[in-house]
Amino acid sequence: MFKAVPVLMLSVLLMACSPQDPPPDSDTGDTPTETVAVAAIPAAPTGASRPVITLGADPWCPHNCMAGSEPEGYMLDIARDVFEAAGYQVEYLNVSWARALQMARDGLLDAVVGAFVTDAPDFVFPQEPQGRSEIAFYTPADSPWIYEGLGSLEGQTLLAINGYSYSEELDRYIARHNDEPTQVWMLSGPSPLNRAINLLDQRRADVYPEDVYVMTWAQNANPDIAPLRQGGVLHQDDTFIAFSPAKAESAELAELLSQGTARLRETGRMQAILADYGLSED
């Protein structure tokens, strides 16, 4: 039986999270839901207390938001619906994405939230995705730039988040230019989105790939932040809660989540969850 990471240990790990990577110059600031037949879902182990599943990620609202916030993100709502119905308790914490992946690889987290298969191909993925993502390029509002393939990125300073996967082709481009800060500027930390928006607004960077739902949510939630322009769509992909490759129970948990996600779709509960965030399955 697996166990939750003790609160003290999590506190220590959170204190040890990677700091915000410095930009290429001297500035180091950061701006901070009819009855159908479905397969039976296995019950959690019996015992005096419910076993805990610990999830981690950086905030990527509306997919997953700040831990303890209201709302907490539709992927957390899905996880809680499925796992709590099966007798588990779900705990969720925020760390940088790169740190969350490493903690899961080390067995300190049971799963990460909001993963593409290309983010962590060594992780255990459910067959049913928990969400969908569309990645678009964002630019300053007055920029005329349009994405027309990787060649159109030449001469542009691209912002990217450490540990993120965007698409196979863009991931290769980022890896190729990772040591050229005028081409690729890597950001890290638990909440880098506002940082990226500010850098674009200050004309210190040119292009930033981000999920359309995430950018729309951020702009609606923070009307004072700089409006950005969409310069073309890069990629669409499924998103998952992906389980630690270091834990023996990961395959069982992934199957439980896959069955539960399918059940939520079949019963209409998934649409109700998404509607709370202004989203739909279409």
Could you tell me the pLDDT band of residue 16, with boundaries at 50, 70 and 90?
very low
Could you tell me the pLDDT band of residue 194, with boundaries at 50, 70 and 90?
confident
Could you tell me the pLDDT band of residue 222, with boundaries at 50, 70 and 90?
confident
pLDDT of residue 254: 98
In this predicted structure, the answer to whether residue 95 has a pLDDT above a threshold of 50 is yes
Could you tell me the pLDDT band of residue 49, with boundaries at 50, 70 and 90?
confident
3-state helix, strand, coil in the chain (%, to 5): 30, 20, 50
**How far apart, in whole angstroms, are the C-alpha atoms of residue 26 and residue 37?**
60
pLDDT of residue 97: 94
pLDDT of residue 241: 98
pLDDT of residue 93: 97
Could you tell me the pLDDT band of residue 190, with boundaries at 50, 70 and 90?
low
Higher-confidence residue of 93 and 33: namely 93
Average pLDDT, the chain: 85
The proportion of the chain whose per-residue pLDDT surpasses 70, expressed as a percent, equals 82
166-188: average pLDDT: 94
The proportion of the chain whose per-residue pLDDT surpasses 90, expressed as a percent, equals 75
Residue labelled with tokens 């951020």: 218
Q: What element of type H or E holds 219?
A: helix 212-221
Residue labelled with tokens 């499924």: 238
Question: What is the SS3 assignment for 43?
Answer: coil
In this predicted structure, the answer to whether residue 96 has a pLDDT above a threshold of 80 is yes
pLDDT in tens, 258-269: 999 999 999 999
In this predicted structure, the answer to whether residue 11 has a pLDDT above a threshold of 50 is no
66-to-14, 63, 184, 190, 263 alpha-carbon distances in Å: 14, 10, 27, 10, 26
Higher-confidence residue of 161 and 282: namely 161
107-135: average pLDDT: 97
